[in-house]
Structure 1
Amino acid sequence: MQRQFLPTTNGDDQPVVPMSEEQKYLFDLKGWITLPGLLDSKTVDRVRQHQMDFLYQRDSLPPEERDNHGGDSQILLDHPVVVGILNEIISHQALASEDCYGFRFDHTYTSHRKAGHDNFNPHGGGGLFNFSGNSHIYQMQKGQIHAGLIRVVWELNEVELGDGGTLFFVW
């Protein structure tokens, strides 16, 4: 039986899409999942244009869109599929309601990497200093996934092996 999480709609009143059993399995197995094709090509084009304007022509944007999650990029903050996943793995449901997510966004940023980018420096948390309750670790408690330090990455360009840009670990 699927557990009901709140909220059931996002900020645009679109129904939240619960995390599927396959997504839960893959997240449990790998520690990450990819969700290709969440945005149609027209939306990707509009979001990409907003991001480029934000980075390189900020003054050309209306004041309310001069942020990397303003304008057409707002959909990246609470896409119904992403909300469903965050509800499942980091939401504190005691604080959630139809009007309030049970999770918070710590920060957002835009990174524009060009083909050939070679400054890749991953980090992996506290290493030997991880402890129960540490937000860097993955836990299963009472049948519920908890992984407190989650990053949502939106790649707005095609990703091809060997082209540089965003790197994804695959195993």
Structure 2
Amino acid sequence: MSNQTTMDAPVTMTPEQKFFFDLRGWILLPSVLSELEIEEMKAEVYAGAKQSYQGALQTLLDHPAIVGVLNEILSEDPFVHEDCYGFRCEGSFTTVRPPGWDVSERGDNGLPHVVRPPQQANAMRYQVAGEKIFAGLTRVVWELEEVKSGQGATSFLSGSHKAHFNYGGPDRYRPNISESPWEANMREMMDDYSCPPGSVVIFTESLVHAANAWTNPSNPRCAVFNCYNSIWAQWHRLNLSHEIIETMPPRRQSLFRGTWAIGGGPGGNRAYSLDNNTT
């Protein structure tokens, strides 16, 4: 399973999904994975898998349910090919939060944050031009257990990815809402979600978002967080060995190629290699 790139056609982003992604900065795709896939992937996470680069979890990197969306919000038609993806993977981690898990276990204590404030010009921010979305650094969260609203899901300050004014704190470049006199009001306005196991949430990292205490008594949170970006921009230095990437099918390997678009020979930047990577 993990050694083959799925041959299923990417699921095209619908006009409705595009509208709400632009409006809110995030969308939820419910019940994407089968029961068998969920159980197989949960077993790997609970056994200690820290990223989704190997095993059954590897198929989440280029699952057809997200490829069509990422093509729409991170790429352009001339850069989408049969032998490579029009976007890159920047990182992956898993999380298991048992009932009672608290945000004090995180370094940021659950402080709402962004990759970079969208009010400032930067390569990671959300943009729209010519009816085309460019979402900047983009996060894809696979929920492998049931999630109930108000009990620990990732929360979002919907619409903040297009904010034109800073968050009220003393430093307009600060990528969080700390020391803002409006922090309580912003937290009150934040949205979250409910979803069955096997669902996926996609959001731009220009959106103010936060971790929350896991208070769902019925099950832990078991989630996979994968991060993506344009082939022209990079935020994370990926800590992934060449030996692991080499075991992937060639098209999946292209998720980890270098950050450039033209030059370097015929066809441009389409293949990963030891000399063309972001690791």
Give the TM-score of the pair, scaled to structure 1: 0.77
Are 1:33 and 2:27 matched, yes or no?
Answer: yes
Identity level (%)? 39
Q: Secondary structure at the match of 1:45?
A: helix
Greater RCO (CA < 8 Å, at least 6 residues apart): 2
Counterpart position of 1:167: 154
Counterpart position of 1:107: 91
Runs of 4 or more above 3 Å deviation: 92-95, 161-164
Q: Secondary structure at the match of 1:18?
A: coil
Unpaired segments ≥5 residues, structure 1: 1-9, 56-65
- d(CA) in 2 for partners of 1:90, 1:36: 21
1:94 Cα offset (Å): 3.6
CA contact (8 A) 1:17 1:81 kept: yes
Counterpart position of 2:123: 134
Are 1:122 and 2:112 matched, yes or no?
Answer: yes
Tell me the C-alpha RMSD between the 2 structures.
Answer: 2.2
1:168 Cα offset (Å): 3.1
Give the TM-score of the pair, scaled to structure 2: 0.49
Structure richer in strand, relative to its length? 2
- Map of 1:1-171 to 2, 5 A cutoff? 11-55=5-49, 68-119=52-103, 120-127=110-117, 130-131=120-121, 134-135=123-124, 137-164=125-152, 166-169=153-156, 170=191
CA contact (8 A) 2:52 2:60 kept: no
- Pick the structure with greater CA Rg: 2
Q: Secondary structure at the match of 1:24?
A: helix
Residue 128 to residue 33, structure 1, CA distance change in 2 (3 Å): closer
- d(CA) in 1 for partners of 2:55, 2:24: 33
CA contact (8 A) 1:54 1:68 kept: no
- d(CA) in 2 for partners of 1:121, 1:111: 18
Aligned length: 149
